[in-house]
């Protein structure tokens, strides 16, 4: 079955520290991969995406993610976290069959300590 796992429900980091949010997926082939951020009560903002090509993708707000096919992972990283990064982060996989349905992970809530 297709699924997305974000093992960490909550993560707390100090401002200025590095960050890595984990995402593993189960899919029949290499899917389209996305990371979204959601602030409380808000919609989703796309941070970055992977369709093909270079496995290290750069996104907005200083985020990057690396696709590792052998590990079925697409972890999100940021070298130095800012207090404004506190939010909920969702990893998602998108169908490559043309239906464009998304399956979301359960999300990781990031708390940033001043």
Partner 1 sequence: GAVVSQHPSWVICKSGTSVKIECRSLDFQATTMFWYRQFPKQSLMLMATSNEGSKATYEQGVEKDKFLINHASLTLSTLTVTSAHPEDSSFYICSAPPRAEAFFGQGTRLTVV
Interacting residue ranges for partner 1, rule: CB under 8 A: 32, 34, 36, 41-44, 46, 49, 51, 90, 94, 96, 99-107, 109
Give the separation between CA 36 and CA 107, rounded to whole angstroms.
9
Q: What 8-state DSSP symbol labels residue 54?
A: -
Query: How far is CA 81 from each of CA 11, 22, 93, 95, rounded to the nearest angstrom?
Result: 12, 16, 25, 31
User: With the C-alpha atoms ordered 63, 112, 84, 8, is the resulting torsion angle positive or negative?
Assistant: positive
Could you tell me the smallest distance in angstroms from the CB atom of residue 107 to partner 1?
5
Residue pair 61/47 in contact (Cβ under 8 Å)? The answer is yes
Closer Cβ to partner 1, 39 or 80, answer by number: 39
Closer Cβ to partner 1, 77 or 109, answer by number: 109
Closer Cβ to partner 1, 15 or 44, answer by number: 44
Closer Cβ to partner 1, 44 or 75, answer by number: 44
Could you tell me the smallest distance in angstroms from the CB atom of residue 50 to partner 1?
11
Could you tell me the smallest distance in angstroms from the CB atom of residue 108 to partner 1?
10
């Amino acid at each position: 079955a297709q699924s997305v796992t974000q093992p960490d429900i909550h993560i707390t980091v100090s401002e200025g520290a590095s960050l890595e949010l984990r995402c593993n997926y189960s899919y029949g082939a290499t899917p389209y991969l996305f990371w979204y951020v959601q602030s409380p009560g808000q919609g989703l903002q796309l941070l970055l995406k992977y369709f093909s090509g270079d496995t290290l993708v750069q996104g907005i707000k200083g985020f990057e993610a690396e696709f590792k096919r052998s590990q079925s992972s697409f972890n999100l990283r940021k070298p130095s976290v800012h207090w404004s990064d506190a939010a909920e982060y969702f990893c998602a996989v998108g169908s490559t069959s043309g239906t464009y349905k998304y399956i979301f992970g359960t999300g990781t809530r990031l708390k940033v300590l001043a």
